Amino acid sequence: MQTKIYQNLIGGQWVSAQSGETFLNRNPANIDDVVGEFQSSGEADVDRAVKAARAAYKQWRLFPAPKRGEILYRAGELLLRHKENLARQMTREMGKVLSETRGDVQEAADTAFYMAGEGRRLFGQTTPSELRDKFAMSVRMPVGVCGMITPWNFPMAIPSWKLFPALMCGNTCVIKPAEDTPLSTFNLVEMLLEAGLPEGVVNIVTGYGPEAGAPLVAHPEVDAISFTGSSEVGRIVGQTAAGFFKPCSLEMGGKNAMIVLEDANLDLALDGAVWGSFGTSGQRCTATSRIIVQKSIVGEFTRRLVERAQALRVGDGLNAQVEMGPQINQQQVETSARYTGIAEKEGAQLLTGGKRLSGDGLDKGFFFSPTVFGGVGAGMRIAREEVFGPVVSLIECDSFDQAIGFANGIQYGLSTALYSRNVNLAFKAMRDLEAGITYVNAPTIGAEVHLPFGGVKQTGNGHREGGTGALDFYTSWKAVYVDYSDRLQRAQIDIGE
């Protein structure tokens, strides 16, 4: 079967990269399966896309917000109508199992419906003026052209987190999807176009970070940047954006802790540990990569977690019997293997897994075994550095306070979880855990679109995706004063007149 060639979307037209170069998008469960051929874009392509977005912005910002919302709502309906086909295509290009890719499409639809409602809100404030016969209010204004760089682990949900609120607020967009998973972004934007989005409002440029992502961040006509990816790349993105004084939203790494206290529902905690650690093959920024377990139950918890990990069915995510798919590429497999070696050298005990899987139809994919380490010290690298694979560490603690200290003692602060029936400790954990997200009696994964998503410390730079937090990034506040006194009034000077 001939491989389909996908072109960049610029100004409503499908065009090839000026270099004429392309790259292949392969199925991580079977590298012989080529999903598509995409454009390997460069600075000239990015410049063309930004200019198209700038031209479209002149009219899109004037498009009534309720009408923008109607387009998003129709896009959400289309996503649900085509959910199964979109999910299957996503599993082919990303690898995670069908139940998860269906959830990825559902999340994009949920975001569309939520943001569509903002078309009749986008609230500002009215407030009394300190002067007579004067009206004061604040309104949200679009920021302009938004550049977006998205990751491969949620190849439709995360682009929707960025595109939908930006569009709702009246901005135009240039998006560079991850080179491992560009098709799902194409599919998402196709839904927008079918829903009636005008030409040039969203532009897609595919390619690699240095050639396409870096020029997008540095482009002088891009007014804001939204990036999701590693902390190392995010630091470069943030520094570059700062040089242009442009707003920059960074959502980066995590080393998320799940605390299990001795009074926890152990069956529930184990369910959460397996899902949080091995869902998406551990390739979530919110994945449960540390489980801090109270000493009195660590033995039983460890034994049962290892049994559950060993029983997981690993394979092609299109197979309905499979519970965990491949990693995204060879580099991620090598990272998981490298950290396995690091952990063993540090003295951690490899309880199960720790190796690439082969045989039984797995030879042509990037499969790594579900891996559990015991005897992990809170200061070990395996307990502090992000692996982004199906690797979890068990850390023993003596008390609640020690568990909180272990959880907070890292450079990241994205997601945390506490399993306990003690309501007092639950509220203390909600207060004391240094993270943007805290779950009680639920794993560290499972964010919902109407709540803010993001973290503290080296996980992010203070901005949030999801909910009204996204609106705060994609708009700027304008204060408006209307003086109907028909005379000069001076704030802070003409007091009491």
Contact, 150 vs 228, CB < 8 A?
A: yes
pTM over 0.75: yes
Q: What is the pLDDT of residue 192?
A: 98
Structure confidence at residue 348 as a pLDDT band (50, 70, 90): very high
Q: What is the pLDDT of residue 495?
A: 80
| Alpha-carbon Rg for the chain in angstroms | 24
For residue range 283-315, list pLDDT tens digits in order: 999 999 999 999 999 999 999 999 999 999 999
CA separation for the pair 254, 413 (Å, rounded): 6
CATH class of 8-252+460-479: alpha beta
pLDDT at 373 over 70: yes
Distant-in-sequence contacts of 78-83, Cβ < 8 A, 24+ apart: 78/191, 78/194, 78/195, 79/105, 79/108, 79/109, 79/112, 79/188, 79/191, 80/105, 80/106, 80/109, 82/187, 82/191, 83/109
CA separation for the pair 86, 95 (Å, rounded): 13
CA distances from 392 to 260, 281, 317, 331, 423 (A): 14, 11, 21, 19, 27
Q: In what order do the strands lie in the sheet with 475-483?
A: 125-128, 134-142, 475-483
Q: What is the pLDDT of residue 394?
A: 98
CA separation for the pair 18, 40 (Å, rounded): 9
**CA count, 13 A, side-chain hemisphere, 471:** 23
Question: ∠ CA 34-39-40 to the nearest 5 degrees?
Answer: 105
Topology of the domain covering 256-440: Aldehyde Dehydrogenase; Chain A, domain 2 (3.40.309)
CA separation for the pair 220, 206 (Å, rounded): 20
CA separation for the pair 107, 436 (Å, rounded): 20
Tell me the three state secondary structure of residue 329: coil
Mean local confidence (pLDDT), 162-176: 98
> Whole-number mean pLDDT of the chain?
97
Give the list of residues 6+ apart from residue 495 with CB closer than 8 angstroms, or none.
Answer: none
CA separation for the pair 253, 229 (Å, rounded): 7
Query: Nearest CA to 203 among 64, 54, 37, 4?
Result: 54
Q: Tokens 């990037």 label which residue?
A: 366
pLDDT at 496 over 80: no
Any idea what DSSP says for residue 233?
Answer: H
334 is catalytic: no
Catalytic residue among 146, 248, 285, 397: 285
Structure confidence at residue 93 as a pLDDT band (50, 70, 90): very high
Structure confidence at residue 389 as a pLDDT band (50, 70, 90): very high
For residue range 321-339, list pLDDT tens digits in order: 999 999 999 999 999 999 9
Catalytic residue among 107, 118, 179, 251: 251
285 is catalytic: yes
Q: What is the pLDDT of residue 37?
A: 98
Q: Tokens 């078309």 label which residue?
A: 119
Contact, 107 vs 157, CB < 8 A?
A: yes
Mean local confidence (pLDDT), 241-269: 98
So where are the chain's domains? 8-252+460-479, 256-440
Q: What is the pLDDT of residue 1?
A: 72
Query: Nearest CA to 96 among 160, 151, 155, 31?
Result: 155
For residue range 434-471, list pLDDT tens digits in order: 999 999 999 999 999 999 999 999 999 999 999 999 99
> Dihedral of the CA atoms 294, 299, 300, 302 (nearest 10)?
90
CA separation for the pair 182, 25 (Å, rounded): 8
CATH topology identical between 8-252+460-479 and 256-440: no
Mean local confidence (pLDDT), 148-163: 98
Q: What is the pLDDT of residue 149?
A: 98
- Cβ neighbours, 10 Å, residue 427: 11
CA separation for the pair 307, 312 (Å, rounded): 9
Tell me the three state secondary structure of residue 28: coil
Q: What is the pLDDT of residue 494?
A: 92
Query: Nearest CA to 184 among 58, 249, 241, 100?
Result: 100
Percent of the chain beyond pLDDT 70?
A: 100
